[in-house]
Amino acid sequence: MGSCCSVTTCSKATVCPECRAEGKPVGLKTLQHLVIEEKRGAIGDGNYYFCATPDCPVVYYNAEGSVTFHKEDLIVKVGLKESNNPPILVCYCFNITEGDIREEIRKTGRSTASQRIRSEIKARSCACEINNPSGRCCLGDVEKVEKQLMPFKI
Ligand SMILES: [Zn+2]
């Protein structure tokens, strides 16, 4: 897309080697927990990034672009890269899917998923860092889904 890398100053490229979108930094701990055993040895100790492009097969890549892990190299399905293939997990710690939230709203008119997660976070039983492929807390994603499905919630 851009032409920033036409010059040699761009040594710290953090774009996905496949789709060229900018990734988000992700901790090694996340990779070590989610990459399948056969490939775990390739992780090393570089800086890794998470590619959030839905149709890109790359999940993790290192800063040099020399190591990549594709979605089939992970022990979990990456919800955001499986959009045609429900159920989509929005919370990896407590196995909450988009369908669960939809179902609860259909039955009760509201969703308690984010509340439940908040209390789990308080109880310190949330482990997104090792369970969620993005290495981030899923609460933001859950709230986004709730908002989408329940547009009139205050
Ligand atoms: Zn990508």
Q: Tell me the three state secondary structure of residue 12.
A: coil
Categorize the per-residue pLDDT at 151 as very low, low, confident or very high, splitting at 50, 70 and 90. low
d(Cα 90, Cα 143) in Å, to the nearest integer? Answer: 10
Phi, psi of 67 (to 5 degrees): -125, 130
CA of 69 to the centre of ligand 1 (A): 10
Of 142, 85, 78, the C-alpha closest to 114 is 142
The string of pLDDT tens digits covering residues 82-129 is 765 556 788 888 888 888 998 899 889 899 999 998 988 888 877 888
Ligand 1 center from residue 119 Cα (angstroms): 34
Question: How many angstroms does the Cα of residue 120 sit away from the middle of ligand 1?
Answer: 32
Domains contained in the chain, CATH given? 4-73 (2.20.25.270), 86-149 (1.10.10)
For residue 138, the model assigns a pLDDT of: 85
Q: What pTM does this model have? A: 0.62
Q: Can you say how many angstroms the Cα of residue 76 is from the centroid of all Cα atoms in its chain? A: 11
Give the model's pLDDT for residue 84: 59
How far is the centre of ligand 1, averaged over its atoms, from the C-alpha of 40 (Å)? Answer: 20
pLDDT at 5 over 50: no
CA of 19 to the centre of ligand 1 (A): 4
Q: Are 81 and 69 in contact (CB under 8 A)?
A: no
What the block records as the tokens of 24 is: 């988000």
Q: Give the Å distances, CA to CA, from 20 to 14, 52, 68, 84, 150.
A: 9, 11, 13, 22, 34
Q: Is the dihedral of CA 17, 18, 23, 25 positive or negative?
A: negative
Give the model confidence (pLDDT) of 9-57 as tens digits. Answer: 444 559 999 999 999 999 999 999 999 999 999 999 999 999 999 899 9
